[in-house]
Amino acid sequence: MTGKTLVLRALKDLGVRYLFGYTGGAIMPIFDEIERFDDMTFLMARHEQGAAFMAQGLTRGALSTDRPELGVCLSTSGPGAMNLVTGIADAHMDSVAMLAITGQVATGVIATDAFQESDVVGVMMPICKQTYMPLSPEEVESTVHEAFYVAKTGRGGPVLIDIPKDIQNNETPADYEFAAENFTPQLPGFLYSPNPETDAIKRAADLINRSERPLLFCGHGVINANAGALLRKFAEKMNIPIAFTLHGLSALPLDHPLSLGMMGMHGTVESNRAIMEADLLIALGMRFDDRVTGKLNEYAKNADVIHVEIDSSEINKNVATSVAINADVARTLEALLDEPMLTYKPRRRWFSMIEEFRTVMAADLEEEISRGTGSGGKLLMKSIVHQLSELTGGRDLIVPDVGQHQMMAARFYNYQTENSWFASGGAGTMGASLPMAIGVKLARPNERVWSISGDGGFQMNIQELGTVMEYGIDIKILILNNGHLGMVRQWQTFFFDERYAGTPMRSPNFGLIAEAYGITYLKVEKLEDVKPALEAAIAHTGAIVVEFVCEPNEFILPMIPAGGGFNDMITSFSMNSPDTDEADQGGAS
Amino acid sequence: MKRRTLLAFMLDRPGVLNKVSMLIRRKMYNVDTLTVCSSRIKGISRMTITLKEDDPRKVEQVMKQLAKLVEVISVKELDTNNSYWREVAIVKLEIEAARLDEFHHRYNFEVLDKKSEDMHILQVAGATGHIDGFLDEIGRENIIEIARTGVSAMEK
Ligand SMILES: Cc1ncc(C[n+]2csc(CCOP(=O)(O)OP(=O)(O)O)c2C)c(N)n1
């Protein structure tokens, strides 16, 4: 059998249904085989970066379903592979299991600067969990199986297989055999230890019992372990409030009485103030990123830390731990729920403090949301997201891009469905939303998917409207157009004396663009049209683009400045010159 | 700064050395020495890395991130007081034969070649400190060329 057949046979045996990619010389043999495997559907992205984000979306969307699957993307050598880099680096930062298969020039010309040759393994090594280059057709099948195992075992991550063209075409020896069912990778150093140690559970329980002001942190690990329900049960049983990382959102309903919402740079006042006052942090599946902690030497000074994390290299990396539990979050929560020593406490003082924190910005935010427009009459993102949340009951799937609108979507959508929030977090890659939403929709065809972008990020992968068109992907695409790179503009307003270098931007007529792709389009300029437009988007079968004309001087607050401590939290801001904005919002109609 | 010795065992697969050195670069360490050899078991390499770092938490971080590499089987820090550190140096130097004799009883070296009356190629083996001491005493200004292997280490 040929290497190209074995690649696809392995993918089929591993349950792959979708292949995202883009062809080219060095991957042509594999593409030529796809047609022979009719249980796999190929989707052509319009740019390889799009394919990488579609693969991410598929993995992330599917992990909470009864059919978890891994996203796979394919590209040719050289430029094709280099176009995957951003999407793969993004998956690496966000611990998303996926597989990238790239064609490579033939072994005979590798390292001669052959046409379209790049050292793909060399480039990908630091942004992949593992990289492979099979050098014989016999290696191909076991490599694909090992790659899957490595990608999804423990902390997820992207894995690359770079396959020289001759290896794709060459035949295995006649006696070649491979039994997928019996395959176990020989990786003595790749240890996966999901079970918490009993002793660590006892010590954790002891700290929890002694704590007066404990706080649970819900990180991405909770989502990845499908442990939202367990976390909820544990929090309720122990009466402990929960703060979420960006990627922990949607593990349990955001309006749960114990929820404090998101933590960190744009987190809620109540979660960040609670962190400052807590005497114990119980961190579940997270890595204490700098956008979560702010200045480390001022972070949670009064608190002991119980850190539950499947990747031991994250433990004690940024924050010193009192009890380290290197295990799966779900198994740890089960063990804690079974721990007879743990006792419930009413924690009245703690909760009354928290109630006070909740009031700090509540009135301002409520006022903004109900006002719905800025001083110039343009729409506020907060209000749009809030109305979407009300209209959908918080049950839909949200795929934001990166920027102010992302933080608005994180804060003002009332997540009710477990694993319903798919953001580019660690890398913060503009342009992630549209292609990622395509992958999420394929994983969750019966749920409604909203891609929400700014005018900047939308134009970074705008070409994927072609994919939406060609495959009839039913996603609702919202563009919150404030005529600027809003998040950067906010920093310029706060920290650069309102000098707006490189942030005002003219956009094309998004209506004509949507029309060119045969996609329905609506434009909303008035507050009273927001709800009807969203209703129309819901009622419409198939993809729709809805553009909202938004206020450029809206801020996402609070904000802890980069490198600042929680004491530096900004909760209100007034512009020196709020009405001088003359930026062209673009779009003729 | 404190000198640290890390000992790691790993699968002998392509790219492993690249990954280890990339990780150490990313952590912004300048490696003092790095040696790789095959271990007792076929297919498994043994790597000894020495670098300078005072903060034990940072060392722990590097070790954990090394251990995280798919190919790496184990990593530990060697207790310097409780392990053998050895390296070999080959030195070409200008020295008179008579002067060289003075060192014979104190240093463990071997004359590989005598190029002329005052030009020798020597092999010196031993602990890093031992080799440094030898070079200092013999006078570094006399050295024409030197090749050192880097440290190999084993716990007592
Ligand atoms: C690929 C990429 N380039 C640059 C940035 C830096 N950046 C972060 S947010 C942002 C502005 C995003 O603007 P827009 O997409 O219009 O969304 P808004 O903030 O206005 O909601 C920029 C430029 C980034 N995150 N990703």
Quick: pLDDT tens for A352-393. 999 999 999 999 999 999 999 998 899 999 999 999 999 999
pLDDT of residue A587: 39
Residue in chain B lying closest to A320 (CA): B57
Tens digits of residue pLDDT in A56-69? 999 999 999 999 99
Domain at A3-182: CATH code: 3.40.50.970
Q: Are strands A41-44 and A18-21 parallel, antiparallel or unpaired?
A: parallel
- Answer with the residue of higher pLDDT: A74 or B150: A74
C-alpha closest to that of A97 among A124, A131, A127, A71: A71
Percent of chain A with pLDDT over 90: 96
Q: What is the ipTM of this complex?
A: 0.87
Which is the CATH superfamily of the domain at B3-78? Answer: ACT domain (3.30.70.260)
pTM here is: 0.95
Q: Is the pLDDT of residue A589 over 50?
A: no
Identical fold, B3-78 and B83-155 = yes
pLDDT of residue B102: 87
Whether a cis peptide bond, with omega within 30° of 0, leads into A558 is: yes
Domain at A372-556: CATH code: 3.40.50.970
Q: Mean pLDDT check: name the lowest of A223-237, A535-549, B23-37.
A: B23-37
**Whole-number Å distance between alpha carbons of A229 and A330:** 9
> For residue A402, what are its two tokens?
């990166």
Interface of A with B (CB under 8 A): 121-122, 125-126, 129-131, 133, 150, 187-190, 311-313, 315-317, 320
Note the residue count of chain B.
Answer: 156
Tens digits of residue pLDDT in A92-150? 999 999 999 999 999 999 999 999 999 999 999 999 999 999 999 999 999 999 999 99
Structural domain spans, chain A: 3-182, 198-353, 372-556
Residues of B in contact with A312 (CB under 8 A): 64, 67-68
Q: Are strands B44-52 and B3-11 parallel, antiparallel or unpaired?
A: antiparallel
Determine the atom of ligand 1 nearest the C-alpha atom of A381: 21
Encoded amino acid at A231, one letter: L
Structural domain spans, chain B: 3-78, 83-155
Is the C-beta atom of A507 inside 6 A of ligand 1? no
Q: Is the pLDDT of residue B130 over 70?
A: yes
**A586 — pLDDT class (breaks 50, 70, 90):** very low
Calculate mean pLDDT across residues A308-314: 97
* Secondary structure letter of residue A172 according to DSSP: P
Please answer whether residues A453 and A480 qualify as being in contact, where contact means their C-beta atoms are separated by less than 8 angstroms: yes
pLDDT of residue A577: 61
pLDDT of residue A578: 53
Helix (H) or strand (E) holding A87: helix A79-93
Q: Is the pLDDT of residue A584 over 80?
A: no
- Pocket residue to mutate for ligand 1, from A94, A379, A406, A485, most atoms within 8 A of Cβ: A485
Is the C-beta atom of A426 inside 6 A of ligand 1? no
pLDDT of residue B132: 93
Task: State the catalytic residues of A.
Answer: 48, 115-116, 165, 487
Percent of chain B with pLDDT over 90: 69
Say whether domain A198-353 belongs to CATH 3.40.50.1220: yes
Q: Is the pLDDT of residue A581 over 50?
A: no
Q: Mean pLDDT check: name the lowest of B3-12, B102-111, B120-129.
A: B102-111
Average pLDDT, chain B: 92
**A54 — pLDDT class (breaks 50, 70, 90):** very high
Which is the CATH superfamily of the domain at B83-155? Answer: ACT-like. Chain A, domain 2 (3.30.70.1150)
